[in-house]
Each structure stands twice: as C-alpha cells, then as structure tokens.
Amino acid sequence: MARRERNQYIFYEDPKRHRGKGVGRAVLILLFVLLLACGIFGTVLSGNISYVRLPFTIPNLPADMEGFAILHVSDLHGANDANLLAKFQKYIKNRTWSCMIMTGDMIGKNEEIEGVLALCALFPPDMPKYLILGDEDPDYLIPYPHENLTPFPDWMNTLLENGVTLVDEPILITRGKKEEARLWLVPEELYHVDLDTMQWAYEGQLKQYEKLENLTPAQEAQKRVVTYQAERMARIREKLGQIRDTDLQFALTHVPITEEEAKAAIQSAGNGQLQYRKISMILAGHYCGGQWVIPGIGPIYIPEIGWFPKEERVSGMSYPGGIPQYTSPGLGASGFYPYQPGRFMNPECITSIELTSQMRAN
C-alpha cells in the first residue's frame, strides 16, 4: 500500500482551504456592504417626502364639488423638524387645496403643537384646516382644575385660535352660489354611538351639578366638561336633521376600519342619516406606513396585526365592506413600534385627494 507523504514544508497551506476562507471572507464583506448600502439608502429614502395624487371618482358628484381637493396628512407625532417642513413646502409650492384634513397623532404625547402650527402656517389663513385626535394624542377635555376656564387644555385653545377646527361633531362644507353642493366631515365613531343614551347621561350629570352650590374647583372643571359634552350632543342631533340624502359624507378616523368592523357597522341601523352605507370615503392614519418597510414586500411587523401584513391594511386605498378607505402613510414615527424606531425605507407622505365625477381608466 502506498503511503501518503507529509509535506516537508512547515509553512505549507492547502490551496483548497485557502480558497474556502477567501470565498467566506468575500461573502461576509459583500453582506456588510449590502447592509450598509441598505441602511444608507433607507435613511435617505425615509428622509424624503412622497407626494401622492389620488383622483377619487364619485358618481353623480355635484358640479360645484368637481375638483374639490383635500390635502390629507397624519401622524406628525409632534415633530417640529425644519428639514421636514422645508421638504413639505417644496411639494406644496404652487399647489392649492380646498382644505387640509389631519387624521390624528399630530400632537404627540407631551402636547407638542409647534410642528402642527408651523405646518398650518405654510398655507393661507383662510384655508380650512380640520383635525381629529389619535390614540397617542393627549386628552382634549380636562375634567380637573387648570389655568384657563374652558373645558380645553391650553394647547387645544392655541390650535383653535390659530384656525384649526376640531372635528368632534359633523362639520358641513358647502360649495356653489346657492351652497347646494354639500360635504360633511363626520367623526367615524358617531356611526356607532347611541346618541340618545349619551345625551341623556350628560344632561343628567349636568342637572346634578346645577343643584350644587359653592362648587369646588374640581367640580367646576367637571361641570365645564359635562356642559360641553351635553351641548355637543345637542349640536350633533341638530346637524343630523340637516343631512340630506344627496350630501357627501366623509368619515374621519385615526385607526383604519377593518373588514369585520365595516360589515358589522353596515348591518346596524346607525343614527338616522349617519349610516355606513352612505359614507363616500373614510380617511384614516395610525400605522405610519408600517414604519419599517422592505421594498417589494411591504411592512415588516405591526404589533396589533402581526408579521408582514397586507399593505392595504397599513396604507393607501382599501375597501372594507366595499367602502373606500384611504389610510395616510403619515409624516412621523410612532412609539407604537417599540423595536422599530424611526422610519426605514418608508418616506413621509402627503396625499392630495381630488374629487371628480370622471371615471378613471385602470
């Protein structure tokens, strides 16, 4: 039997083993470069603003509503970033809208309103600016003693004084010389609540406070909130009687409506004219476009949904229960994603929703 000879050179290295190490090293370097490139690209991409123009067809749209344009933004989360505002201003230059609608989490948990005020200041003072609040916004009614004698905190009063309209009841927008073209902005929650029970409860509480003499500061604050809520219920009931069958209804919600929720709402009777089947469109926000996104695949993880959800659950157009819903990808990043700080591969987004009666080709 032939004996395998040992190599006589002490420092000899097997060429095959050398090639194996070289290939492994090259793969590691390539992976590192790819990750670095993705990180840089994701950071740069997420620092841009995506501008979405969305023509929205409504059959039998009143002629005076043709071209009515809504600037839809959401989820600023109190950011007051000069670079973001500069990029925002670039996209809105030489463009006009009929109104701006903000669908929640614009303020942030610590009452930071400077970013919203700076955003609103980019537009003409007479351009209507509508706001609903989100789950990460602070409470807008204060049932305990505070410096001002209104039911609102100072930050809300400041927004109201600067031309922002809080949408916690139906708001009517009219167009045309005779104001015959009518569009209602409606808080989505009003399609579900029992107005009779709520009004009865608030009015009952108010009567109890009115019986008391020498109210404490805490009781005075509580009475202001209850008074506001009782009067709000009365205003809502009055406005429901003004809604016509031909009016457009845009429901505003922070958290997008799911298929199951829409189907359940459609089956319920609703509040008179406020019935889900009469909604022209739902506007929502909340998910910040998924926060971290893989191009071509979509969002990675949504805490309340799970891994790799369908993109229409998180942003863009969807049709829960057959009702058109547009979910804004948002302008900021949410603490809702504990392990996904900031935005990755996911640029901030503003959307121009333009009403038209013209059918679009697919």
pLDDT value, residue 322: 95
User: What is the C-alpha separation between 171 and 281, in angstroms, rounded?
Assistant: 15
DSSP secondary structure code for residue 290 in this structure:
G
Any idea which residue has 């942003």 for tokens? 315
**Mean pLDDT value across residues 28-35:** 40
Average pLDDT, the chain: 86
Query: Can you list the positions of beta strands (E) in 62-176?
Result: 69-73, 99-103, 129-132, 164-166, 171-175
What tokens were used for 144?
């305990």
CB atoms within 10 A of CB 311: 17
Cα→Cα distances 281→276, 277, 305, 322, 327, Å: 10, 10, 23, 10, 11
What percentage of the chain reaches a pLDDT higher than 70? 86
Helix, strand, coil distribution of the chain in percent, nearest 5:
35, 20, 45
Angle, in degrees to the nearest 10, between helices 195-211 and 217-240: 150
pLDDT grade for 10, boundaries at 50, 70 and 90? very low
Residues 332-356 have pLDDT tens digits of: 998 888 889 889 999 999 999 999 9
What percentage of the chain reaches a pLDDT higher than 90? 65
User: What is the C-alpha separation between 327 and 255, in angstroms, rounded?
Assistant: 9
Distance of CA 223 to the CA centre of its chain: 32
Residue 39 has pLDDT above 60, yes or no: no
Provide the whole-model pTM. Answer: 0.85
Highest mean pLDDT among 39-43, 111-115, 175-179, 333-337: 111-115
Residue 1 has pLDDT above 50, yes or no: no
DSSP secondary structure code for residue 193 in this structure:
S
**Mean pLDDT value across residues 57-77:** 95
User: What is the C-alpha separation between 313 and 299, in angstroms, rounded?
Assistant: 10
